[in-house]
């Protein structure tokens, strides 16, 4: 069974609007909690690149700006 982890930023009224991740033997699995059937498998390098890219954004409750 896949164990999904929600972001620590996903709480309160936005608890259902978040990105979740799980580990598989060869990939990191990403999904949105409001569409759990759509799963994006990425490599560890791909996930690290995504996190580095998103690290340049300051997110507010309804939008993200760089």
Q: What is the pTM of this model?
A: 0.69
Segments in the chain forming alpha helices (H): 44-54
Residue 41 tokens read as: 């498998």
- Cβ contacts of 50-58, under 8 Å, gap ≥ 24: none
- For residue range 3-44, what is the model confidence (pLDDT) as tens digits? 999 877 666 555 566 889 999 999 999 998 888 899 999 999
CB 10 within 8 A of CB 18: yes
* CA distances in angstroms from 2 to 8, 34, 36, 38, listed in the order given: 19, 17, 12, 14
């Amino acid at each position: 069974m896949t164990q999904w982890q929600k972001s620590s930023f996903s709480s309160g009224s936005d608890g259902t609007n978040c990105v979740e991740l799980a580990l598989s033997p060869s990939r990191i699995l990403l999904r949105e909690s409001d569409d759990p059937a759509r799963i994006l498998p990425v490599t560890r390098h791909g996930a690290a690149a995504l996190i580095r890219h998103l690290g340049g954004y300051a997110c507010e409750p309804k939008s993200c700006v760089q």
